[in-house]
């Protein structure tokens, strides 16, 4: 595949941040984007809604279908999938981007927060994949891409925030299992993770604010890396735990300066790297 023109992407958490950046990159090719996210009204600390995202996607050249979806709700997932198929005729790509984070230790993690992370990260990824798979099977180049890390089973990634690590690695285990399960049907299942911190609302609000943002890269690096993955033949590229920078180096990118939030600033490595 040379581009994503006419392809239908179902993207969770696409109202802002990395999910929106991935949507806009695909929209430049004329792709159809299903925005599966919760935000319908403006939030003081979280920019964007499913409706503002739809306007940006259409301005970039794509078609947008904003759907109110809490991916912990099976009925909302299936309703959005049905609407996507009714509107665009099928689903070619699923991006499991939505995620919840709490970098807290065992005693500092309320079970409500534990359930939120596992409900969105692991269960939500499984549920969206399950709902989309019957339609992905009908696509000529089907992909599932999870925004999740390599399965780096070192104690240092579990000790400080075991609940969060379990929830994110649950997404990665979906890659490991589903890639094997569906390889004979030609459905690619891969993971993508950033080498550095990415400038998102979560980083701004929860992970250090302006100081951390200075040492981060823009969501566009993840979008460009996702694009490179999603335009690969699904039968020959599956079961990979990709790092954004490595993917882009593989397609000839050597200068990453344009992605830096503050030119020349020291970059902070992301978790699990």
The string of pLDDT tens digits covering residues 123-142 is 999 999 999 999 999 999 99
Count of the separate structural domains present in the chain: 1
Per-residue pLDDT band at 269 (split at 50, 70, 90): very high
Over residues 78-107, the mean pLDDT reads 97
User: Per-residue pLDDT for 255 more than 90?
Assistant: yes
Q: How many CA atoms lie within 13 A of 252 on its CB side?
A: 0
CB 91 within 8 A of CB 136: yes
Q: Does residue 43 form part of some domain?
A: yes
In a domain, 199, yes or no: yes
Provide the pLDDT for residue 10. 98
Give the pLDDT score at 1: 54
- Catalytic residue ranges: 164
Residue 265 lies in a domain: no
Range(s) of the domain holding residue 198? 8-259
Q: Is residue 109 within 8 Å of residue 102, measured between CB atoms?
A: yes
Whether residue 50 is contained in a domain is answered as yes
Inter-CA distances, 139 with 144, 228, 235, Å? 12, 18, 12
Helices 17-27 and 50-59, interaxial angle, to 10°?
A: 30
The answer to whether position 266 is within a domain reads no
Across 148-269, where does the E strand assignment appear? 188-193, 241-243
Question: What distance in Å separates the CA atoms of residue 24 and residue 220, rounded to the nearest whole number?
Answer: 9
Cα–Cα separations (whole angstroms), residue 11 to 68, 70, 136, 151, 268? 12, 12, 14, 23, 27
Is 37 domain-assigned? Answer: yes
For the segment 41-77, what is each residue's pLDDT rounded down to a tens digit?
988 777 889 999 999 999 999 999 999 999 999 999 9
Residue 96 has pLDDT above 90, yes or no: yes
Pairing of strands 32-37, 63-68: parallel
What does the alpha-carbon distance between residue 147 and residue 37 come to, in Å, rounded to a whole number? 15
In a domain, 14, yes or no: yes
CATH number at residue 245: 3.40.50.720
């Amino acid at each position: 595949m040379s581009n994503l023109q006419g392809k239908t992407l179902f993207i969770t958490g696409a109202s802002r941040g990395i999910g929106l950046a991935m949507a806009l990159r695909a929209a430049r090719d004329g792709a159809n984007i299903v925005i599966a996210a919760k935000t319908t009204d403006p939030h003081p600390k979280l920019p964007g809604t499913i409706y503002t995202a739809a306007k940006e996607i259409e301005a970039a050249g794509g078609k947008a279908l904003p759907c109110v979806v809490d991916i912990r709700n099976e009925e909302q997932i299936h309703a959005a999938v049905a609407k996507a198929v009714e509107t665009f005729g099928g689903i070619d790509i699923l991006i499991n981007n939505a995620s919840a984070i709490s970098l807290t230790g065992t005693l500092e993690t309320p079970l409500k927060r534990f359930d939120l992370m596992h409900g969105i990260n692991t269960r939500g990824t499984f549920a969206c994949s399950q709902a989309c798979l019957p339609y992905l099977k009908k696509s000529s180049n089907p992909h599932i891409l999870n925004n999740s890390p390599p399965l780096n089973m070192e104690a240092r990634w579990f000790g400080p925030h075991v609940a969060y690590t379990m929830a994110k690695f649950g997404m990665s285990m979906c890659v490991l299992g589903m890639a094997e399960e569906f390889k004979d049907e030609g459905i690619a299942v891969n993971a993508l993770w950033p080498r550095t911190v990415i400038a998102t609302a979560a980083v701004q609000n929860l992970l250090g604010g302006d100081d951390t943002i200075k040492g981060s890269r823009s969501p566009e690096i993840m979008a460009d890396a996702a694009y490179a993955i999603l335009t690969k033949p699904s039968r020959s590229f599956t079961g990979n735990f990709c790092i954004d920078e490595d993917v882009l180096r593989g397609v000839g990118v050597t200068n990453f300066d344009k992605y830096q939030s503050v030119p020349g600033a020291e970059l902070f490595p992301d978790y699990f790297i």
